[in-house]
Every structure is written in C-alpha cells, then in structure tokens.
Amino acid sequence: MSYERRALVASPTAPAQAAAAELADALDWVDPAEADVIIALGGDGFMLQTLHGLLDRRAAPVPVFGMNLGTVGFLMNEWRRHGIGERLDRAKSFKVTPLAATITGIDGRVHRAPAINEVSLLRETRQTAKLEVTVNDRVVMPELACDGILVATPAGSTAYNLSAQGPILPLGSNMLALTPISPFRPRRWRGAILPDKARITLRVLDPAKRPVSAVADQREFRDVAEVAICMDRARELTLLFDPEHALDDRITMEQFVS
C-alpha cells in the first residue's frame, strides 16, 4: 500500500528531536489529522502515547510506523533517515486490539480508559492487596493476597507481564494473560491464560485499609474499588513493521531469550 500523506511526530527527547529535524526538510509532511500514515520517532513509551492519541480521535485510526530513538524499542523499527517511502511500501501491518477498562473508585466515580499493553492493579501502601477475581460473572478466586495483578494483551505480553513472570502470547492467539504480581496467597498461583472474549472483574477487598491503584498503560487511577476489563474490538489499531523486523516474529523470539 502506498501512503502519500505522511505525518511526523517525535518524542521530546534530544535524539528524537534531532532525528525529526533531519527528516523535516527531507520529505513533505502533513498535519497528523490529515495523514494516512504517521511516522513516530521515539521509544515504546512514545509509541503508546501516539497510539492513545489516535484512540482519542473520532476518525478511524491511521497506521503508525515507529522508528526507535528510545531504549528498548520493542514496538519500533530501526531508525534510518533514508528510504522511508520504500519501507512503507514493503511494511507488514499488524492489528492491535486495546483493552477497555471500567474503573470504579471507592468514591463511586467511574472512569473509562483504554490500554494497549495491560491494565494493572497495584497496592498503594505496605499493606498487601486483597482482590476477588471474577471471569464471565463467575468468581474464580474469592481472595488473592498479592502486590497486584494485571491483564495483558498479546502485544503487551512481553512488557510488564513478562517481568511479572507471565506468559508470552503470540499475536493472533486470541488470548489474554491474567498474571499476579508477587502473589502471597495462594502462593503457587501463577495466573491464567484466558480467551480474549472473557470479561474480567477485579474487586478490591477492604479498599479503605488496603488501598489499590489501577493503571491502564500510562494512566493511573488511585483508590479503586473495582475494575472491569474486556477487549474493545471497535477501536482496532494498526502498526507497521519492516518485514525483517516484524512484531509477530519478535514476540515469538522473546521466548528463546536467556
């Protein structure tokens, strides 16, 4: 596919700004609102920020081709100044479906937030969090004592989820990872792999004594009482990758990294 109207966005970091300056006069760029593809310069955090910006727009999200000028760059391609048009023509596209989190605070206020990588619940104090876990309206764990718990998409399964000893989920697996963070009781529970059609509800037990925060990618909500999580299939995103640097292969190869 040929992308004629390209927009350039960059992280505020010095390397990303320097790269953006190199590209600014080399190619013709349009405003992101008018583009049919976005070139994002930065790291994974900036890529998530860019994608969340697309979710906030009413128009259908356009594809994003990222180039790494950050640290890890798992969601990015290699930074190269030249040949962007040819790379876009050859790029493989991957659909990413975000999670939708409905977060109810102990004050009764309700917040809704998307998450591309994961939704996590974390204890706010030294007190262990105590959570009730429900899947498809069935209580599957009446009480989980832990530092927290997270629900990760396949795209996010190699991020915080992997650091918490959660499973790597191949793209297209139609699965979600439900992963505890430092579980104390039941101590040996290592989480579950669920169909991505599952509806997951995490209820905080005794939230006044054991306060818990919820984080949807980069947005934090403190003092929550309950978080309901499901896939949001109406808000699909598209990432573009060089064929030799494709996201599905990178996720697969993460299982063989020592």
Enumerate the domain spans of the chain. 6-97+236-256, 99-233
Model confidence band, residue 188 (pLDDT cutoffs 50, 70, 90): confident
- Give yes or no for a contact between 13 and 69, defined as CB atoms under 8 angstroms apart: yes
The residue annotated as part of the active site, out of 44, 56, 107, 196, is: 44
Tell whether domain 99-233 is in CATH 2.60.200.30.
yes
- Give yes or no for a contact between 183 and 203, defined as CB atoms under 8 angstroms apart: no
- Tokens standing for 118? 């994961």
Angstrom distance (rounded) from CA 240 to CA 147: 35
pLDDT of residue 19: 96
- Give yes or no for a contact between 202 and 130, defined as CB atoms under 8 angstroms apart: no
- Give yes or no for a contact between 93 and 222, defined as CB atoms under 8 angstroms apart: no
Q: Residue 44 catalytic?
A: yes
- Tokens standing for 239? 């990432």
Q: Select 6-97+236-256's CATH number: 3.90.480.10, 3.40.640.10, 3.90.245.10, 3.40.50.10330.
A: 3.40.50.10330
Q: What DSSP assignment string belongs to 105-171?
A: ETTS-EEEEEESSEEEEEESSSSPEEEEEEETTEEEEEEEEEEEEEEE-TTTTTTHHHHTTPPP--T
Residue 58 scores a pLDDT above 70: no
Helix and strand numbers, DSSP H then E, in the chain: 5, 16
Q: Do domains 6-97+236-256 and 99-233 have the same CATH topology?
A: no
Q: Calculate mean pLDDT across residues 33-54.
A: 94
Residue 5 scores a pLDDT above 90: yes
- Residue 129: exposed, middle, or buried by beta-carbon count in 10 A (0-12, 13-18, 19+)? buried
**Which of 92 and 251 is assigned the larger pLDDT?**
92
Q: Which residues are annotated as a binding site?
A: 44-45, 117-118, 147, 155, 158-163
Angstrom distance (rounded) from CA 232 to CA 161: 20
Per-residue CA distances from 34 to 5, 6, 157, 247 (Å):
7, 8, 32, 26
Q: Which residues are annotated as a binding site for NAD(+)?
A: 44-45, 117-118, 147, 155, 158-163
Model confidence band, residue 197 (pLDDT cutoffs 50, 70, 90): very high
- Tell me the pTM: 0.91
The H or E element that residue 226 is part of is: strand 224-231
Residue 30 scores a pLDDT above 80: yes
Residue 256 scores a pLDDT above 90: no
Angstrom distance (rounded) from CA 41 to CA 76: 9
Angstrom distance (rounded) from CA 104 to CA 166: 26
Q: What are phi and psi of 100, to 5 degrees?
A: -115, 120
Residue 45 scores a pLDDT above 80: yes
Highest mean pLDDT among 170-174, 213-217, 244-248, 252-256: 213-217
Q: Calculate mean pLDDT across residues 13-40.
A: 94
- Give yes or no for a contact between 43 and 72, defined as CB atoms under 8 angstroms apart: yes
Model confidence band, residue 104 (pLDDT cutoffs 50, 70, 90): very high
